[in-house]
Amino acid sequence: MQIFHHVTSVREALGKERAAGRTVGFVPTMGNLHQAHIELVKIAQQHCDVVVVSIFVNPLQFGLHEDWDKYPRTYEADIAKLQDASCDYLFYPDEKEIYPNGMAEQTRVVVPTMTDVLCGASRPGHFEGVTTVVSKLFNIVQPDEAVFGIKDFQQLAVIRRMVEDLCIPVKITAGEIFREPDGLAMSSRNSYITPEERPRVSQLNESLNWVREQIEQGNREFLALEAEAVKQIEAAGFKVDYFTISSSRTLQPAAHDDTEITILGAMYTQAARLIDNVSLTLG
C-alpha cells in the first residue's frame, strides 16, 4: 500500500493509474477503522481496479462542543487493517493540506435540501462541512466510484444530491450496515459507550425493527409508532435526538401512500451519539 500526505503526489500517482486504463474506487473515512470500513473497501475492490482510502478527521463538520479533539485517532492500527485488506493507496493529509487558506476562508459547498432535518437539525453546519470536504476529496482523487456506508443514510442522500447537482462524474455506491452480534451498528463512536450501557444500546436497532414490522403488518399510524419507539428507547435509559418515519427519497415525514420508507433514529448515551436506520419497500 502506498501512502500519500500531499495532494500533488496522490494526484500524480492516480493519474498514472488512469492513464494505464485502470478504474479508481474511493472510500473516504475519518479513520479509527473497523470492519464496516473494511467492508466498504471490499465493495470498492469488487467494482474498481485500484482502491484509495482517505483518512481525515474533518474539523469543518464538527460543531461547537462536539468531539473533534476527542475523536479516536488510530493511525498505525488503521494502516495495518488497510494493508491486511490489500488496499492500494492511503491518502492521509493534514488540515493545512486540505484547508490551505484556513477554514474561515474556505469556499463552502452547500446542499440546501435534506440538510436541516434529522442530524442536520441537531448539528448545524455539519453537512456543509461534509459536502465541502467530500467535494474537495473527489476533486483530489477523481474516482470513478465512491463507496459510503448506508448507516449514515442522510449523509449518503446529501452526497448523492450534491453529485447530481454539480454534475460530478462519480458513481456513488452504498454499503450495507455492518453490525455487532447484538444488532448495534458498527461506528467509530461505539468506543465511547460505557460497559454499563453496552448491554442496552441495541435498543435503538430493536425499536427501528419493531416499527418496521408494524408498518409491514399494515400499521400506518406513523406518529403513534414514532412516539412508542421514543418511549422504548427512553425506558432503556437513553435520550432520543430524533426518531422518524421518512420518505427514503426526500427524508421528509412519510405519507401513508409512500412505498419507499426509511425509519431513522439517533440517541445519546453518556458520551456518544448513535445513529441507525432501516428501510422497507411496500407493495
pLDDT tens for residues 117-148?
999 998 889 999 999 999 999 999 999 999 99
pLDDT for the residue 193: 94
Greater pLDDT, 71 or 202: 202
* Confidence grade of residue 68 (pLDDT, cut at 50, 70, 90): confident
> Percentage of residues in the chain with pLDDT exceeding 90?
90
**pLDDT for 189 beyond 90:** no
Average pLDDT over residues 195-213: 97
Which segment of 61-65, 96-100, 116-120, 218-222 scores lowest on mean pLDDT?
61-65
With a cut of 80, say whether residue 64 has pLDDT above it.
no
DSSP state of 252: S
In 3D, which of 65, 2, 85, 67 has the Cα closest to residue 30? Answer: 67
96: three-class secondary structure by DSSP: helix
Regarding predicted confidence, which is higher, 72 or 196?
Answer: 196
State yes or no: pLDDT of 244 exceeds 70. Answer: yes
d(C-alpha 250, C-alpha 67), whole Å: 29
Domains of the chain: 2-175 (3.40.50.620), 188-276 (3.30.1300.10)
Q: Contact 86/38 with Cβ under 8 angstroms?
A: no
Q: Is the pLDDT score of 262 beyond 90?
A: yes
In the block, cell 449523509 appears at 155
**Lowest pLDDT segment from 59-63, 75-79, 169-173:** 59-63
User: Which of 41-45, 122-126, 154-158, 167-171 bottoms out in mean pLDDT, i.e. has the lowest?
Assistant: 122-126
What phi, psi does 90 have (nearest 5°)? -120, 125
Confidence of residue 223 (pLDDT cuts 50, 70, 90): very high
119 Cβ neighbours under 8 A, 6+ residues apart: 126, 127, 154, 155, 266, 275
- 278 in helix, strand or coil? strand
Residue 188: the pLDDT is 86
Q: Could you tell me which of 23, 277, 253, 21 has the C-alpha nearest to residue 144?
A: 23
Mean pLDDT of 182-194: 91
DSSP H/E element including 203: helix 203-216
Q: Which of 6, 37, 47, 256 is catalytic?
A: 37
Angle at 135 between CA 108 and CA 6, to 5 degrees: 105
Report how far apart, in Å, the C-alpha atoms of 239 and of each of 62, 228, 229, 234 are. 20, 14, 12, 6
CB-based burial, 243-274: b 16+ in 10 Å, e otherwise = bbbbebeebeebeeebeebbbbbbbebeebbb
For residue range 149-163, list pLDDT tens digits in order: 999 999 999 999 999
Q: Is the pLDDT of residue 169 over 90?
A: yes
CA atoms of 88 and 3, how far apart (whole Å) = 9
Rounded Cα gap, residues 109 and 162, in angstroms: 9
pLDDT for 93 equals: 98
Task: Provide the percentage of residues in the chain whose pLDDT is more than 70.
Answer: 99
Q: What is the mean pLDDT of the chain?
A: 95
Segment 149-178 shows an average pLDDT of: 97
Kindly report the pTM of this predicted structure.
0.94
Q: What is the mean pLDDT of residues 220-230?
A: 97
* 37 in active site: yes
